[in-house]
């Protein structure tokens, strides 16, 4: 395939009104080129190349839509276009913008949950499309993504003194008042990057791109926060400073205190299920009475309730492992029986048959349930945790009770034991101390250490020796014989006299 660069202007012939041509005239024909074509700075450079012939066998020429200030810039763009053609990138795909591609990509994602689609749309509409949506897909570079994330970190009630053009586009596309505008967290930026990376990976597989530029973006530490157990020391620090942790876990004693505090709440059984069995919020709110087996003391998780664009929607469990059977203790079964008996006095809609519902039998709003939980925790005076933290707490309580990691993982609906152990379980002080005692108990000792016995090594004794000390000790051991004092070089008492 061949290509060429040439100079073009938008000037027109005043006599005919037609635009001047670019090619030189043939023999005997008048010159219809612009008379100012040789003037410095007049016009711009254009690149054109021969594309592979179509199915009809006809010749196809592609002219790049950009205009370039110099011939060198045009030649660089021409080389990139030829390289993309050799790699099989369709010609039509070179004109598609990032916004158009992302719209088509998301509409084709039919195998993901509706809540996930809504989350993708929110990130793309608020940040990605206003920031880099106008860029052609083939022209997208990693620097564009870096500028996008830099602009996202500057969003807030007040903008920098000289905001970038990227930041201006993002803020202009928002509809929320500037005074209430919050800066996106690093987690939001990473999720946005993950969406872009997945979308570009599909473009690479479909040969619309030669490489995924999102792979060249580096973030700092992306590890998930480790759950922090509310020990006595942590509670004192919280009361002194008011600092709360991103992911916090109640000890079994604190969890019991909370369940006692909410014993008379309408959702007391819901709090108990989430606290002891680790149900997700949507799984608990989507539970129906046919899913409860009182004889086997089990509940079956089949579907869940979530909020999509401020509307309560039924969805499937979060993952394929989320559809599971959860065993219940006798206390929870009795609490469910009492809860069902109390619902007899309410006007319920039989079509839903929800375990936890409004007075009319309608599904509860998940966001409202979370807010209710936060108010109850604040009134109880207990250290703060999120509603989802109760899932972490259920795993920690199970570990403290001696439940196997396999049982805990299946109870929570996780795919692997490693994920449960790394992200959800925490070791309380009681479990750690018990483990230390268990390890020490199985180590045989000839002489058990008695309380109050004298130490073998004095408290301020120096441990270890240096080479000089070792040499002195070696000489003393070879020279001292009989009753000679240690460190003496001779056995003659006259030479050892203090008078010498």
- DSSP category for residue 485: P
- With 0-12 / 13-18 / 19 or more C-beta atoms within 10 angstroms meaning exposed / middle / buried, residue 192 is buried
Which one has a higher pLDDT value, 57 or 271? 271
Q: Are the CB atoms for 413 and 324 separated by under 8 Å?
A: yes
Q: Render pLDDT for 471-495 as a digit per residue (tens, 0 to 9).
A: 665 565 555 444 555 455 555 555 4
Report the pLDDT value the prediction gives residue 328, as an integer from 0 to 100.
92
Which one has a higher pLDDT value, 432 or 9? 9
Which one has a higher pLDDT value, 419 or 121? 121
The segment(s) of the chain belonging to CATH 1.10.443.10 are: 228-434
The segment(s) of the chain belonging to CATH 1.10.150 are: 98-216
Report the pLDDT value the prediction gives residue 160, as an integer from 0 to 100.
86
- Is it the case that residue 53 has pLDDT exceeding 70? no
Report the pLDDT value the prediction gives residue 481, as an integer from 0 to 100.
47
CATH fold for the domain made of 228-434 = hpI Integrase; Chain A (1.10.443)
| Section 281-290 average pLDDT | 92
Q: For the structural domain made of 98-216, what CATH number should be given?
A: 1.10.150
Rounded to 5 degrees, φ, ψ at 189 are -65, -40
- DSSP category for residue 119: H
442: helix, strand or coil: coil
Q: Are the CB atoms for 113 and 315 separated by under 8 Å?
A: yes
Report the pLDDT value the prediction gives residue 450, as an integer from 0 to 100.
55
Cβ-proximal residues to 31 (8 Å cutoff; 6+ apart), any chain:
24, 25
Q: Render pLDDT for 111-155 as a digit per residue (tens, 0 to 9).
A: 777 788 888 888 898 899 999 999 888 888 889 999 999 999 988
Read off the tokens for 271.
Answer: 């709090």
First-to-final CA distance of the chain: 107
Q: Give the lowest-confidence range in 61-65, 258-262, 331-335.
A: 61-65
Q: Give the lowest-confidence range in 210-219, 309-318, 424-433.
A: 424-433
- Is it the case that residue 326 has pLDDT exceeding 50? yes
Residue keyed to tokens 């039989």: 350
Residue keyed to tokens 């793309």: 124
Report the pLDDT value the prediction gives residue 30, as an integer from 0 to 100.
81
Q: How far apart are CA 143 and CA 416, in angstroms?
A: 37
Measure the CA angle with vertex 410, ends 407 and 412; round to 5°: 110
pLDDT band at 87 (very low <50, low <70, confident <90, very high): low
- Is it the case that residue 21 has pLDDT exceeding 70? yes
Which one has a higher pLDDT value, 280 or 48? 280
Helical segments of 297-347, H only: 330-343
- Is it the case that residue 28 has pLDDT exceeding 90? no
Q: How far apart are CA 216 and CA 266, in angstroms?
A: 51
Which one has a higher pLDDT value, 145 or 45? 145
Read off the tokens for 250.
Answer: 């109640």
- Is it the case that residue 319 has pLDDT exceeding 90? no
Read off the tokens for 346.
Answer: 């309410």
Beta bridge partner(s), residue 312: 307
Measured in residues, the chain has a length of: 500
Q: What are the C-alpha distances in Å from 192 to residues 98, 99, 169, 319, 456?
A: 14, 14, 17, 21, 62
293: helix, strand or coil: strand
Q: How far apart are CA 366 and CA 282, in angstroms?
A: 7
């Amino acid at each position: 395939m061949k290509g060429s660069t040439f100079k073009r202007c938008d000037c027109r012939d005043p006599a005919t009104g037609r635009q001047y041509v670019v090619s030189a005239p043939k023999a005997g024909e008048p010159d219809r080129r612009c008379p100012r074509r040789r003037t410095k700075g007049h016009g711009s450079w254009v690149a054109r190349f021969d594309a592979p012939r179509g199915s009809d066998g006809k010749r196809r020429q592609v002219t790049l839509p950009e205009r370039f200030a110099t011939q060198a810039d045009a030649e660089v763009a021409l080389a990139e276009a030829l390289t993309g053609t050799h790699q099989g990138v369709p010609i039509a795909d070179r004109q598609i913008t990032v916004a158009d591609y992302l719209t088509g990509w998301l509409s084709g994602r039919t195998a993901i949950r509706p809540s996930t689609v809504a989350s993708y749309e929110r990130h793309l509409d608020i940040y990605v499309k206003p920031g880099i949506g106008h860029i052609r897909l083939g022209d997208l570079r990693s620097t564009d993504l870096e500028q996008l994330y830099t602009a996202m970190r500057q969003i807030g009630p007040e903008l920098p003194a000289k905001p970038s053009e990227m930041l201006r586009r993002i803020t202009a596309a928002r509809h929320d008042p500037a005074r209430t505008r919050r800066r996106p967290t690093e987690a939001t930026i990473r999720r946005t990057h993950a969406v872009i990376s997945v979308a570009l990976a599909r473009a690479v597989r479909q040969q619309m791109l030669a490489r995924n530029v999102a792979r060249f973006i580096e973030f700092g530490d992306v590890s998930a926060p480790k759950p922090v157990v509310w020990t006595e020391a942590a509670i004192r620090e919280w009361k002194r400073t008011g600092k709360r942790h991103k992911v916090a876990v109640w000890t079994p004693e604190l969890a019991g205190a909370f369940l006692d505090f909410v014993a008379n709440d309408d959702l007391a059984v819901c709090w108990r299920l989430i606290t002891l069995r680790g149900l997700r919020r949507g799984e608990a709110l989507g539970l129906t009475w046919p899913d409860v087996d009182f004889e086997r003391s089990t509940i079956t998780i089949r579907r869940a309730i979530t909020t999509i664009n401020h509307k309560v929607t039924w969805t499937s469990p979060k993952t394929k492992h989320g559809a599971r059977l959860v065993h219940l203790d006798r206390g929870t079964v009795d609490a469910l029986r009492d809860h069902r008996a109390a619902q007899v006095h309410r006007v319920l809609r039989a079509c839903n048959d929800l375990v936890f519902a409004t007075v009319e039998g309608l599904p509860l709003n998940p966001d409202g349930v979370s807010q209710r939980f936060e108010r109850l925790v604040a009134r109880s005076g207990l250290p703060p945790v999120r509603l989802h933290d109760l899932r972490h707490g259920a795993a920690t309580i199970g570990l403290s009770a001696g439940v196997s990691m396999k049982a805990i993982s299946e109870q929570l609906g996780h795919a692997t034991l490693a994920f449960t152990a790394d992200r959800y379980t925490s070791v309380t002080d009681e479990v750690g101390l018990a483990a230390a005692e268990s390890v020490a108990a199985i180590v045989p000792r000839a002489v058990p250490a008695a309380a109050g016995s004298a130490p073998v090594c004095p408290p301020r004794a120096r441990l270890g020796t240096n080479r000089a000390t070792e040499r002195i000790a070696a000489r003393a051991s070879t020279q001292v014989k009989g009753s000679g004092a240690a460190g003496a070089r001779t056995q003659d008492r006259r030479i050892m006299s203090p008078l010498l």
